[in-house]
Structure 1
Amino acid sequence: MFNNIPNVKLGIIAVSRDCFIVSLSENRRKAIVEAYTKQYGEIFEAQTVVENEIDMLKAVEEVKTAGCNALVVFLGNFGPETPETLIAQKFDGPVMYVAAAEETGKDLINGRGDAYCGMLNCSYNLGLRKIKAFIPEYPVGTADEIAEMINEFNPVARALIGVANLKIITFGPRPQDFFACNAPIKPLYDLGVEIEENSELDLLVSYKEHADDPRIDDIVKDMAEEMGTANPYPDLLKRMAQYELTLLDWAEKHKGSRKYVVFANKCWPAFPSQFGFEPCYVNSRLVSRGIPVACEVDIYGALSEYIGTC
């Protein structure tokens, strides 16, 4: 089964306004990388410091070549407004902006070097270009403080990457008197999520086609071991194993251009009579593997579960 949760590979690019010495941003970037690596893990350090648009293209290519799928843009000083915001436009993935706090006497005259004003201008320029980026509530800090901000950005980046590569597979239709739960699809497309809507009959046909699947016995054994003595209906395990394989195979064959899958599946009122069991146990097993399964009336619940899983 494919990995249903993204792995985040972080990169960091430092920017510098050309009226400041470039080593100011460079040295502060190095301090952040050292602090983050020591406390939290790996982060790729782009060697290009961005002062202009040519630098911006070079730095973005550098992190892309390194395989980064999430990015930190660090204002080591006031920062160049156009190039720094174009980084997020050119980079295909979530981007966080943070900035250097004022230090005491080691980089500039009287320690001046706070980039808070630059962050204000940066956020304004991101808005002008309608570029979405993650900015912490207070985005200015020391190396250790920014390392902590990056650590907090990590799960946010994971969720954003996941949602941008997600397909929601549904098996309906929604039952009678649930008209309020007919989820509008356009907001999902706005988030970058794909959706595949199928009928309960499609699910039943696929389920029956798995009746003699040679993998069933191994799953039955795994289910029995998982339940232990709390197994009140052992005669149902074969059917549930068959159903589990049906969903896993459907996800693998139907994810298409997407990397990740969640389900919003029918479970009533016809399900018990046609399949011969309720699917809740199988659903829980999929959830434990990072594949959320919600009710067919709750497509947005499936999306929320996935974000929470990430």
Structure 2
Amino acid sequence: MKNIPELKLGIVAVSRDCFPMELSENRRKAVVAAYQKGYGKLYECPTTVENEIDMMKALEEVRNAGCNALIVYLGNFGPETPETLLAKYFDGPTIYVAAAEESGDDLLDGRGDAYCGMLNASYNLKLRGIKAYIPEYPVGNPEEIADMIAEFAPIARTVIGLKNLKIISFGPRPQDFLACNAPIKQLYNLGVEIEENSELDLYAAFNDHANDPRIPDVIKSMEEELGTGNKMPGILPKLAQYELTLLDWMNAHKGSREYIAFANKCWPSFQTQFGFVPCYVNSRLTAMGIPVSCEVDIYGTLSEYIGTCISEDVVTLLDINNTVPADMYQSEIKGKFPYELKDTFMGFHCGNTAACKLSSFNMKNQKIMARALEPNQEPNITRGTLEGDIAPGKITFFRLQSTADALLKAYVAEGEVLPVATRSFGSIGVFAISEMGRFYRHVLIEKNYPHHGAVAFGHFGKSLYEVFKYLDVEDVGFNQPKGMLYKTENPFA
């Protein structure tokens, strides 16, 4: 994926001048060795920081090495001022970690007191208003520190991505979709740029791509991906033209930003004017690491992009759509999986989920739109969806949202897609999340979330939660287990 940052981590050891510098340096070398053995490359800054002069030298070294994320390592107690100024002057996310003592036989000259130093470091960061990441328990041996750095990596990648992201939208939102409407002020607070365009701008650009000489190559790519699922080949030329339109717009409108996500209009006038539905193209761009949300859902595509950075994988955006029928639950889920009926639901969208995340797929027309736009006739303008059941496996359902009064909130819930045939249409799956019924009522409904949720394919709850904390999202909901009551939950129910 070229639409997310390539991370280059650098580690700087710090040392209090009344402690042996060699202690911090040797511990740093051990951390680097552990990380490189378990995870990959890590730039080791040769300067150990004792004072502000060292701090400036170390910053120059990590910058010259191309580092975009920094580890400040307290190999001993650490100097409070220069170690916090590292994060202040480094242009990128920073993690603070500290060394555990190695041996009960070496607690005289070999004791570093980094456990204590971390307290002062955190206090000074707060005092100076400097944002940095501190793990859940930030003190450990080299292998444990290496694990902390590895857990920091997706968080750092996401933070860098957001600061270099532009969301391009084509609107306005469809009527009665106020749920997808949200103030854009928080995008700027996050460092995200937005470019809002009209559906007419998109239509003009699409028409300019008629007879584009690249269209046959895109059609060939689509044919290869669809294989036997290419049930409506006649629509591929228009879909290829549209794909080129979006990609060219992206490249022409990046401006100062490196990464792009789209939030696009997709109905109802889209079909009558463009002559197709854009779902399959949306799925293909998302598979390239360029999320495209439906229905001009700006915070939906923002959430998708966050999931892309964290998982380094394809994501999707789905409606939290419908219940699983009781008879279907009884015959295909009960006794086979550890879920109650209210733990299950179906996640659905018209056809925007990438082919690689579907068990099987076919090019179809959009059934709901066809009812209104071309009933009782051969589908024409409603062709263009990629239909199929979502592949079973672990998932994380999540969303970052701005409220009507421009406050950020988020939710994260881990679960799975069950290997149960949906017997329905669209990109769809049978989802199961423990205590979903309570989560649905006391987070999704109570806190006024829209019906769209982003889906990452794997369990990424820990990283997502940490990203939302780093972004100063104070309200992060999750599916609380039994016995842990929500604030609004009736204890007598």
Cα-to-partner distance string for 1:213-244 (whole Å, 9 max, x where unaligned): 00000100110111011112110000000000
1:133 aligns with 2:132: yes
Match of 1:186 in 2: 185
Report the counterpart of residue 99 of structure 2 in structure 1: 100
Letter in 1 for 2:218: I
> Is 1:284 aligned to residue 287 of structure 2?
no
SS in structure 2 at match of 1:98 = strand
State the percentage of identical aligned residues: 72
Once the two structures are superposed, the pairs formed by residues 78-157 of structure 1 within 5 Å of their partners are 78-105=77-104, 108-109=107-108, 111-157=110-156
Structure 1 residues 125-173: Cα deviation after superposition (integer angstroms, max 9, x where no partner)? 1111111111100000000110111111111111111111000000001
Contact 2:171–2:265 under 8 Å retained in 1:
yes
1:71 is matched with which residue? 70
Provide the C-alpha distance between the structure 2 equivalents of 1:203 and 1:213, rounded to a whole number of angstroms.
16
The structure-2 alpha-carbon separation of the partners of 1:279 and 1:126, relative to structure 1 and needing over 3 Å to count, comes to same
User: Who is 2:473 aligned against?
Assistant: none
Counterpart for residue 236 of structure 1: 235
Q: Is the 8 A contact 2:76 2:114 kept in 1?
A: yes
Give distance in 1, aligned partners of 2:202 and 2:120.
53
CA deviation after TM superposition for structure 1 residue 200, in Å = 0.3
User: What is the deviation of 1:295?
Assistant: 1.9
Letter in 1 for 2:147: E
Distance in 2, matches of 1:193 and 1:22, equals: 41
CA distance in structure 1 between the partners assigned to 2:113 and 2:101 by the alignment? 4
Q: Which residue of 1 aligns with 2:259?
A: 260
Are 1:171 and 1:296, in contact at CA under 8 Å, matched by a contact in 2? Answer: no
Change over 3 Å in CA distance of 1:237–1:106 after alignment to 2: farther
After superposition, the CA RMSD in angstroms is 1.3
* CA distance in 2: counterparts of 1:236 and 1:34, whole angstroms: 55
Gaps of 5+ in 2: 310-493
Q: Which amino acid is 2:265 matched to?
A: K
Are the equivalent residues in 2 in contact too, given 1:104–1:110 (CA < 8 A)?
no
CA-to-aligned-CA distance 1:197-221 (integer Å, 9 cap, x gap): 0000000000000011000001001
Amino acid at match of 1:277: F
> In 1, are the aligned partners of 2:16 and 2:78 still within 8 Å (CA)?
yes
Separation of aligned partners in 2, 1:194 and 1:309: 18
Contact 1:17 1:51 in 2 (8 A): yes
Between the aligned partners of 2:58 and 2:107, the Cα distance in structure 1 is: 25
Judge conservation of contact 2:267–2:295 (CA < 8 Å) in 1. Answer: no
Deviation for aligned residue 1:120: 1.3
> 1:114, CA displacement in angstroms?
3.6
**What residue in structure 1 maps to residue 59 of structure 2?**
60
Contact 1:24 1:107 in 2 (8 A): no
Q: In 2, distance between residues paired with 1:296 and 1:133?
A: 35
Q: Secondary structure at the match of 1:217?
A: helix
Match of 1:15 in 2: 14
Q: Which has the higher contact order (CA 8 A, sep 6+)?
A: 1
CA contact under 8 A between 1:171 and 1:200: conserved in structure 2?
Answer: yes
Amino acid in structure 2 at the alignment position of 1:305: E
Per-residue CA deviation, residues 7-50 of structure 1 (Å, 9 max, x unaligned), is 00000000011110111100000000111111111100001111
Q: Secondary structure at the match of 1:228?
A: helix
- The one-letter code of the counterpart of 2:161 is G
Structure 1: how far apart are the matches of 2:267 and 2:145?
49
Runs of 4+ in structure 1 over 4 Å off: 105-108
Measure, in 2, the Cα distance between the counterparts of 1:278 and 1:123.
Answer: 52
Greater per-residue helix proportion: 1
Deviation at 1:180, TM superposition (A): 4.2
Q: Deviations over 1:43-63 (max 9, x none)?
A: 000011111111111101110
Specify the alignment match of 1:175 in structure 2. 174
Task: Name the SS for the 1:291 alignment partner.
Answer: coil
**Displacement after TM superposition at 1:175 (Å):** 1.8
Q: Secondary structure at the match of 2:166?
A: strand
- The alignment's TM-score, normalised by the length of structure 1, stands at 0.97
TM-score by length of 2: 0.61
Q: Secondary structure at the match of 2:228?
A: coil
Structure 1: how far apart are the matches of 2:246 and 2:232? 21
Between the two proteins, the alignment pairs up a number of residues equal to 309
Worse-superposed segment, 292-301 or 143-152: 292-301
Structure 1's unaligned 5+ residue stretches are none
Deviation of the 1:108 alpha carbon: 4.6
Per the alignment, residue 318 of structure 2 pairs with none
Given that residues 178 and 297 in structure 1 are in contact (C-alpha distance below 8 angstroms), is that contact kept between their aligned partners in structure 2? no
Question: What SS does the corresponding residue of 1:207 show, helix, strand or coil?
Answer: helix
